[in-house]
Amino acid sequence: MKHLFSESRAGGRRGIRIAALCLIAALFAGASVQAGEKLVVGMAVREITNDFNRTIIEGARKVVEENGGEMIVTDGNADIRKHIDNISNLITKKVDGIIVQLGEPAQLTSVFQKAKDAGIPVSSTSVGQRTPGCITDVNGDEELSGMLLGRQLLNDLNAKGRVVMISVPGAPVLETRLRVFRALLSGYENIWMSEVYPTQHSVADTLNIMQNILTANPNPGDISAVFVTYDLLASGAVQAINNAGRE
């Protein structure tokens, strides 16, 4: 097995920088700050595990500081309950605006409404859609990501092989990438696609799932490629593949 595909191969730092700039612009427009006061922006990130997360944080920090503001960053360590608690704590601190990176709309609606009731504007990125109580949600082109990944896989496999798919169900951003990827590959009769194996936003969970998949498919050629919808999942899948000597 030589091929593992995830969204990070199709990502671009320029788009992430633009997303950060859009978020800050929205917050500066919405925050009620008196003349001469320092703008304090809270940024709640579900997990800080890769360059995608870090680039958004640094892009946002740069714009805030260029405008004389201060940014407070929190890390949920991939725990949605901690992520929501971090947002609530930023509300309690009465920051002027909040940027939320990652999460699912159903999980965030209540705390976003809490911020709105407190008069604190919220903007999000990589949630996948605008959540009630939020000014806007800024994303990359997820359909393009799914298409580029699919084309690269087809090229690498010469449009023939068995593809295993792993994703987190219910996350709008990931669902879009997966939908386009599957639609593209479904037009090739020599490509076989597995069911979508569900995982959590966790390296350990994905590692265990990939181990089980490898155990169930022990022979050369059983798996030609693995598709995961973002790079945190790829880390777990790669570890399992390497541990099994199935490179």
- Judged against a pLDDT cut of 90, whether residue 73 lies above it is answered with yes
Q: What angle do CA 72, 7, 56 make, to 5 degrees?
A: 20
Burial per residue of 31-59, b for 16 or more beta-carbon CB atoms within 10 angstroms, e otherwise? beeeeeeebbbbbbbbbbbeebbebbbbb
- Judged against a pLDDT cut of 80, whether residue 72 lies above it is answered with yes
Distance, in Å, from the CA atom of 138 to the CA atom of 23, rounded to the nearest integer, reads 7
Characterize the bridge pairing of strands 161-167 and 191-198: parallel
**Percent of the chain at pLDDT exceeding 70:** 85
| pLDDT tens readout for residues 7-47 | 554 444 444 455 556 656 665 565 555 556 788 999 999 98
| pLDDT tens readout for residues 142-168 | 899 999 999 999 999 999 999 999 999
Q: Write down the pTM of the prediction.
A: 0.71
Backbone angles phi, psi at 232, to 5 degrees: -60, -40
Q: What angle do CA 185, 227, 188 make, to 5 degrees?
A: 15
Residue 118, both tokens: 């407190």
Q: What is the mean pLDDT of the chain?
A: 86
User: 69: pLDDT confidence band, cut at 50, 70 and 90?
Assistant: confident
**HSE-CB of 59 using CA atoms within 13 angstroms:** 22
| pLDDT tens readout for residues 163-209 | 999 999 887 888 999 999 999 999 999 999 999 999 988 899 999 99
Backbone angles phi, psi at 99, to 5 degrees: -110, 130
